[in-house]
Amino acid sequence: MRVRGSIPILLTALTLCAAACSDSSPTQPSASLAGTYSLVSFAFVVQGQQQPVPGATGSFTLTATTYTLNLTVPGQGTLNDSGTYSISGSQWSQSSSTTGQATGTYSLSGTVLTVDATSQGTETISVWQKQ
């Protein structure tokens, strides 16, 4: 199934972002998120149902406040993106001059980072394994 949208939309959403919290001063990302991650799975969410994208590959590197993303989605090409991010509670917010703003939620379980983010009306869920 082909989902409407371009790689920038995909990646922005993938780049993991969360809706802004009521707290006006988001917490800086914790050192535990910093590192390099490999993509485990990637899916679009269409009408509330996950639509996995077989063959998607990528890497996601986080520092205390910045990210670098490389994502390849079969049939849609490769996106190389970088920007800034912040977290507050389970909320994630990310921004870049290439893909714009993305918001959503994240969770970290051991070394597995999961991001459910929406950008330009497209929701994606990406799962990353820390290397």
Rg (alpha carbons) of the chain, rounded to whole number = 13
Q: What is the pLDDT along the chain (131 residues), one digit of tens a residue?
A: 444 454 444 434 344 333 322 333 444 445 479 999 999 999 999 999 999 999 999 999 999 899 999 999 999 999 999 999 999 999 999 999 888 999 999 999 999 999 999 998 999 999 999 99
Of 44, 27, 40, which is closest to residue 125 (Cα–Cα)? 44
d(CA 102, CA 95): 6
d(CA 98, CA 81): 7
Residues whose CB is less than 8 angstroms from the CB of residue 54 and which lie 6 or more positions away in sequence, other chains included: 74
Its pTM surpasses 0.85: no
Q: Domains of the chain, with CATH numbers?
A: 7-130 (2.40.128.280)
